[in-house]
Structure 1
Amino acid sequence: MTIALNRRQTLLGMGAMGAAAALGTPALASSRNMAVLHLGSHAPSFIAWERGYFKDAGIDLNLRFFEAAQPMAVAIASGDADFGVTAMTGGLISLAQKDAVKVIGGALIEKPGSPGSLVLASNKAFEDGLTDPSQLAGRSFGITTAGSSFHFMAHKIAQANGVDLAEVDLRPLQKLGALVGALSTGQIDAWAIQPSIATKLLADGAAQQIGTVADCAPNYQVTTAFTSTGNAANEGELVTAFVAAYSRAIADYNAAFIDRTAPAEEVDELAAIVHKYVETDSPAEVAKENLINGAQRINEGLALAEDSIIEQLEWYKSEDMVDQSVTREQLLDTSYVETI
């Protein structure tokens, strides 16, 4: 899929990078922070930072690490971070209603036939008969928190398989590391997670695959790019420069790990960059293999699957996790990217 930058994005991005090149200093000089997670899905964040794409675009940007999606949204709202790329959450939607954050683009997306998130069962549960998502009733399913993307995925998996979500024992364990440990030791029966983590669990013999999220939720926009409402409304050059820089890294990532059109030395270089932040306790070759096997396409140009975002918004409303009055306009600013 090839998505062109819109006119505003292209012109402003070129202006920011051109000024930086001409002056030899960032066009947007004040220091900024980007909220990130130690996940392979954040590979473009690491690539853009390590390769200097943010500096090329005139942004003095630093990476700030978090353990879950919702605290990232809080950091954007409070001004502790300027940008984030992570999943939709009830917390993010509530902050958008308060005019604190805006979704400005899309990243990971689930599409049948493409690499994506896997539904996993613990070895214990698998041996006890949990071999298909249709058997989740009466079983425990791991999530980070109520209102998280994992909660929404549990809903989509249950819905697609004719299971009443009320019959699934949702276990909020707060952090990704806790979920990995709980599944590996049989403390929870099932979980759904991006392939960068799932493939490692499978390779280690710590879990069993029982399904895919794409089969249950086709065209699900898993992660989004977001910033503060103030940035979106008043810092157009900054936001456009960020989108342009991040888009360069997405192109590198897709070429190396999805389309496989990049030369071998480029793949090695990008894998080494990501290994600084992901699976740091694994040998470099193992981490590289897991990154390749667990890669998932990221929308070029941060294009946004708007219908999926609206579906998620309406589900959060239906579950009374967010106020019924939240509007599309409060949540989204689609002026910086294409919608698909």
Structure 2
Amino acid sequence: MTIKTTRRAWLAGLSIVAAGVTALGATAAAANDAITIGALRFTSHGAGFVAYEKGYFADEGLDVTFEFFQAAQPIAVATASGDVDFGITGVTGGLMNLAEKGAIRIVGGVLHEKKGVDGMMIMASNAAYDAGMKTVDDIKGHSVAMTQVGSTFHYMTNLIANAKGWSMDDMKMVPLQKVGSMVAAVKSGQVDVLIMVPHIAKALAGAGAAHEIGWLNDYAEYQISTMISSVDNIENNRDMVERFIRAYAKGIADMNRVFLSGDADPAEMEELTGMIAKYVAPDQPYEKAAKSIQTGAMYLNEGMALNKTDVAAQMKWFKDQKLVDSDLTVDELVDSSFVDTY
């Protein structure tokens, strides 16, 4: 039996096939989950930028955008309200309050102080240094910059005070709301001490705008930042959370391997630096931003594992200091079902 096909019929059939392919493509595109990540323009947040640029999020069916903030605590508020789906932030009083209301949970670890890896630098303003502040032992009795009361910067100062046997009352904590304002206050001599991520701190020291006097990981190794998401996402879109964590963890693996291994391929180093520079220093020439990014990388939690024991210790401090009035437990703050905890 011979079937004859006219040109008109053939074209009509081709149109049907093309329409079907287009419809399938549209369905696939619609299946991607659109999510927003709340972040700071820090190299330590670079794993997300790398995961985006290298297509790890796209591979997991995630259409990602970033929303940038000037401090970590507002990221927790934005995550609780649903303005962002995931946020990179430390354990703070604000985070604990929102978790107690059933709005957010920690789902993984991001940044961790580790011996042998440059972390948060302790700095003295030029005025304080010239007046005799040469080491961390000289901090007692001086002013220390932080974003907000109950912030990670507040807690970091406590780690130093605790290691030295001081009271927090021995320092004057100065809330300045934004990281940029903290840097400006130290540069102008309005505050004496700054604890800052290395990609900013090393640039300040190199420019003679402040002095390095120590490193936080000389006094403590702690879980600086975590990944949070809303309880709504965790309970009603678990698969999306799992896919996000897989993609972000790949970005972490790339960051640690390239920036911390000491034997990275120079071409790959340049590639990742360029990816991160787009977000960390969008208004700077690449040549200016590259060095601070490459020398400012910190240790990121492999696999987004979380130091839950340290999170519990941080929570206790906030409660002991009366910065939160809460019965929240670490098991209520942390959802341990997504990553390894220890």
> TM-score, normalization: structure 2?
0.89
Give the letter aligned to residue 313 of structure 2: E
| 2:50 pairs with one of 41, 47, 52 | 47
TM-fit CA distance, 1:215: 1.1
The CA deviation string for residues 243-295 of structure 1, in whole angstroms up to 9 with x for no partner, is 00001111111111111343211111111111112234443233211112111
Is contact 1:85-1:226 (8 Å) kept? Answer: yes
- The number of residue pairs the alignment matches comes to 318
Q: Partners in 1 of 2:330 and 2:29 — Cα distance?
A: 34
Give the letter aligned to residue 83 of structure 2: D
Aligned to 2:19: none
Give the letter aligned to residue 285 of structure 2: P
Give the letter aligned to residue 110 of structure 1: E
Aligned to 1:155: 158
Closer, same or farther: CA 225–26 of 1 in aligned 2, 3 Å: farther
Is contact 1:132-1:210 (8 Å) kept? Answer: yes
Q: Partners in 1 of 2:48 and 2:27 — Cα distance?
A: 23
- Alpha carbon RMSD of aligned pairs, Å? 1.7
Secondary structure of 1:60's aligned partner: strand
Aligned to 1:146: 149
Aligned to 2:115: 112
Is contact 1:93-1:331 (8 Å) kept? Answer: yes
Residues 142-151 or 128-137, more deviating? 128-137
Q: Partners in 2 of 1:66 and 1:284 — Cα distance?
A: 22
1:172 aligns with 2:175: yes
1:181 aligns with 2:178: no
Residue segments in structure 1 that go unaligned for 5+ positions in a row? 1-21
TM-fit CA distance, 1:328: 1.5
1:34 aligns with 2:74: no
1:240 aligns with 2:242: yes
TM-fit CA distance, 1:26: 5.5
Q: Partners in 2 of 1:167 and 1:27 — Cα distance?
A: 57
TM-fit CA distance, 1:130: 1.1
Aligned to 2:224: 222
Aligned to 1:3: none
Q: Partners in 1 of 2:138 and 2:28 — Cα distance?
A: 58
Is contact 1:27-1:59 (8 Å) kept? Answer: no
Q: Partners in 2 of 1:26 and 1:232 — Cα distance?
A: 23
Secondary structure of 2:299's aligned partner: coil
Secondary structure of 2:39's aligned partner: strand
Is contact 2:99-2:333 (8 Å) kept? Answer: yes
Identity %: 40
Moved over 4 A (4+): none
Give the letter aligned to residue 218 of structure 2: D
| 1:67 pairs with one of 63, 67, 70 | 70
> TM-score, normalization: structure 1?
0.90
| 2:82 pairs with one of 79, 84, 93 | 79
Give the letter aligned to residue 52 of structure 1: G
Q: Partners in 2 of 1:260 and 1:28 — Cα distance?
A: 40
Closer, same or farther: CA 243–156 of 1 in aligned 2, 3 Å: same
TM-fit CA distance, 1:24: 8.9
Closer, same or farther: CA 281–63 of 1 in aligned 2, 3 Å: closer
Secondary structure of 1:208's aligned partner: strand
TM-fit CA distance, 1:131: 1.4
Q: Partners in 1 of 2:32 and 2:109 — Cα distance?
A: 26
Give the letter aligned to residue 333 of structure 1: D
Aligned to 2:255: 253
